[in-house]
Amino acid sequence: MTTLSSSALLLTSSSVQPWSSPVLLLQPPSMGPLVLRPPRNRVETRQGEQPPRSNSSSSAADAAMDPKLVEVTQLFSRFKAAFARNDFDTCVDLLSQLKVRLTKFPSLPPSFQQTPNAVEELKIARDIYEHAVVLSVKIEDQDAFERDFCQLKPYYMDTCGIIPPSPQEYPILGLNLLRLLVQNRIAEFHTELELLPVTALENPCIKHAVELEQSFMEGAYNRVLSARQAVPHETYVYFMDLLAKTVRDELAGCSEKGYDYMSIAEARQVLMFSSDKELHQYIAEEHPEWEIKDGSVFFQKAKETQPCKEIPSLQVINQTLSYARELERIPKCSMA
């Protein structure tokens, strides 16, 4: 019997079956019988050729090379650069171009077509509309805010499970609630609130708007005005200033109907100003008909400029009696 002189022999296909390619015969010195192992499957490539790529890598590359997506991405980068330097005129122009290009994406609402680039298209479109909402606050355009929020809302409500949640979702939803409160659209405020999950009420942005609405309905205007100093997000300042103006206008209307005059110190306290200068500025801009004299604010002049309308009582009585006479003339048969 011939002994093997080495621990590994290369056997050809003519001597070992069933494999047709060379196999490696291993015989460790101290580990039992010989073991035959088939060769590993390898993809042979010719010189200069690249190995084939997987399907996932190929689809990701195709998505990255989509010309429409690349164009929108580059244009959005220019928008964000202009936004960072507060060039809002350029932002408005670029935003119009971005919205036109987004209409070419079939994966966006309301179609939601399944395309290879659907996730990336949804994410960048949501990001664009989020910036559009914030831009409308920066330029103080409430109509643009409402339009952009309506376009953004489906990305929050209808894309769960398709794209990950946005970190700007609750700040923007809370901002919309605050806008509805400022515009005194209380019914819509509660409708939007009902659409949110219960856990959303614990978010500081949503909680801030809910507490403001409660204070406003209770007439706790001091809490409404003090909330201006504790906004949960910087974009809330614009609407909080509008809400403070609404509250002061309400207080001013009640004051001029309830008093003929009021000292400057009392007026400052009632209207919740921190200084006499702020009070004088408010009166000059909002109520020039008020008169400041001898350390007091006189509302009598404002009352004189708004005479009460006389009710034409005799005319109303005559019309009522005329209607009664005409009813008596109607035959009973026609009434039956």
Q: pLDDT of 150-206, one tens digit each? A: 999 999 999 888 999 999 999 999 999 999 999 989 999 999 999 999 999 999 999
**Confidence band of 44 (pLDDT split at 50, 70, 90):** very low
- 1, containing H or E segment: none
- The residue assigned the tokens 């923007």 is 172
Q: Find all residues with CB under 8 Å of 144, minimum gap 6, and list them.
A: 132, 135, 136
Asked whether the beta carbons of 301 and 290 are under 8 A apart, the reply is yes
Q: What are phi and psi of 10, to 5 degrees?
A: -95, 115
- 315, containing H or E segment: helix 313-329
Residue 309: predicted pLDDT: 66
- Torsion angle, alpha carbons of 296, 302, 307, 308, to 10: -80
Alpha-carbon span 109 to 286, nearest angstrom: 44
Record the tokens describing residue 235, joined without a space. Answer: 């974009």
Q: Please classify residue 326 by burial: count the beta carbons closer than 10 Å to its beta carbon, then call 0-12 exposed, 13-18 middle and 19+ buried.
A: exposed
Residue 138: predicted pLDDT: 95
- DSSP letters, 134-145, are HHHHHTT-HHHH
Residue 192: predicted pLDDT: 95
**Confidence band of 137 (pLDDT split at 50, 70, 90):** very high
Give me the domains of the chain, ranges plus CATH numbers.
64-258 (1.25.40.990), 259-322 (no CATH)
Please write the tens of the pLDDT for every residue from 138-150.
Answer: 999 999 999 999 9
Please write the tens of the pLDDT for every residue from 211-230.
Answer: 999 998 888 888 888 888 88
Alpha-carbon span 28 to 33, nearest angstrom: 9
Q: For residue 298, list its beta bridge partners.
A: 261, 291
**Confidence band of 318 (pLDDT split at 50, 70, 90):** confident
Asked whether the beta carbons of 104 and 92 are under 8 A apart, the reply is no
Distinct helix (H) and strand (E) counts, the chain: 15, 6
Mean pLDDT (whole number) for 14-35: 46
Mean pLDDT (whole number) for 265-289: 90
Asked whether the beta carbons of 295 and 261 are under 8 A apart, the reply is no
Other beta carbons within 10 angstroms of residue 320's beta carbon come to 9
Residue 333: predicted pLDDT: 53
Residues, the chain: 336
**Confidence band of 304 (pLDDT split at 50, 70, 90):** low
Please write the tens of the pLDDT for every residue from 71-127.
Answer: 999 999 999 999 999 999 999 999 999 999 999 999 999 888 998 999 999 999 999
- Average the pLDDT over each of 125-134, 168-177, 259-268 and give the range with the smallest value: 259-268
